[in-house]
Structure 1
């Protein structure tokens, strides 16, 4: 006689499912980020091993940092949590702008604009849901 699986999920399975979902999201975002970085580095020329390696490394670092931030962020107060996501977004976007050959000032301005936007959205979300 076969036993039916319980209709409820345990806390551990929900936590594992959430971690796996975020790992998958971080991996997908890392692939997109790496492709974007590699294509920017290529600059219209042929695909080289250097630009492909640059894209793979940039995507890998992005995915690892995104997953680590997701694991650490819930322990922070809402202000620091919003600021940590804003810093991550600002640095990530500023890095892509600088990889395209922009000046340090332009990369910084675009990174700060991205960070300010992400901070406003995440802080509002955390403030209204907690």
Structure 2
């Protein structure tokens, strides 16, 4: 049987720059900068709409419901940006705990807006937060070198 020999990479031009993961980075610096602002805004608006829709339970949209949605969206955006900035500078345990606490709390809040008890909402938020912590801890643990530095 014949097998293809691995290419040496010499003599080929690399047109795309490589990103932090070693894969080709197809987006420009400008696109990344726009995304760093657009992602929190879009996620916040979706979260605010979702919370307001849960709170009104399919009823009519009122001014208070709109205000609640926008305040919730703003709070989510601020917390998301804060967690994103702080977590990226911490060790893997704290990084995973911050994201787990943020996402568990966000889910628990959404769950409470649908009319469930505080105890059940807290339990659901804790379960979601614990699952997020375990998944992210595993991811961060497997993407570090022996000294605890992230492989970029």
What CA distance in whole angstroms lies between the structure 2 residues aligned with 1:19 and 1:122?
24
Residue 33 of structure 1 aligns with which residue? 47
Structure with the largest fraction of helix: 1
Residue 72 of structure 1 aligns with which residue? 86
Q: Output the aligned Cα RMSD.
A: 1.8
- Residue 100 of structure 1 deviates from its aligned partner by 1.4
Within the candidate set 77, 97, 105, 2:119 is matched to: 105
Say if 1:23 and 1:67, in contact at 8 Å, map to a contact too: no
Alpha-carbon deviations, 1:85-129, whole Å to 9, x = none? 000001111111111111011101110111011111111111111
17 and 71 in structure 1: CA distance in 2 versus 1, 3 angstrom threshold: farther
Say if 1:41 and 1:100, in contact at 8 Å, map to a contact too: yes
Say if 1:90 and 1:115, in contact at 8 Å, map to a contact too: yes
| Structure exhibiting the larger radius of gyration computed from Cα positions | 2
Aligned pairs, number: 119
**Larger relative contact order (C-alpha < 8 A, sep ≥ 6)?**
1
**TM-score normalised by structure 1 residue count:** 0.83
Within the candidate set 89, 93, 98, 2:107 is matched to: 93
Structure 2: gaps of 5 or more residues: 1-15, 18-27, 145-152
